[in-house]
């Protein structure tokens, strides 16, 4: 089945990258409780940009059977990230725009 094949391939092929991300940079600092509030704000800004792109792509291609199988409402993060980002920006703890790498991603 194509849906299972795609979701399995994504999980398998990105597993090592996710592990690397958890062990480096801002994510590693967050998991160790060592990320500043400003660093957290920058990370949320980047994640919002990434999730917005991912979710827009999923919505745009929802009719494709393999993509439809990847859409799960519980995995949608854009709205929650927007809410968090608004609060962090009001506090001056998040940039007005994400870093270029997040936009490029």
Tens digit of pLDDT for each residue in 45-95?
999 999 999 999 999 998 988 888 788 888 899 999 999 999 999 999 999
For the chain, the distance separating the N- and C-terminal CA atoms, rounded to the nearest angstrom, is 29
Q: Taking 60 as the threshold, does the pLDDT of residue 3 lie above it?
A: no
Kindly report the pTM of this predicted structure. Answer: 0.80
Q: What is the mean pLDDT of the chain?
A: 88
Share of the chain above pLDDT 90, in %: 52
Q: Identify the residue whose tokens are 């009719």.
A: 63
What's the CA gap between 15 and 95, in Å, rounded?
29
Give me the pLDDT at residue 103, please.
86
């Amino acid at each position: 089945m194509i849906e299972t094949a795609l979701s399995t391939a994504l999980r398998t092929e990105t597993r090592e990258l996710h592990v690397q991300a958890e062990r480096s940079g801002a994510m590693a600092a967050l998991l160790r409780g060592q990320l500043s509030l400003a660093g957290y704000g920058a990370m949320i800004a980047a994640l919002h940009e990434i999730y917005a792109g991912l979710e827009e792509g999923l919505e745009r291609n929802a009719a494709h059977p393999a993509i439809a199988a990847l859409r799960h409402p519980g995995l949608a993060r854009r709205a929650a990230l927007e809410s968090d980002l608004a609060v962090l920006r009001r506090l001056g703890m998040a940039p007005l725009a994400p870093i270029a790498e997040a936009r490029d991603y």
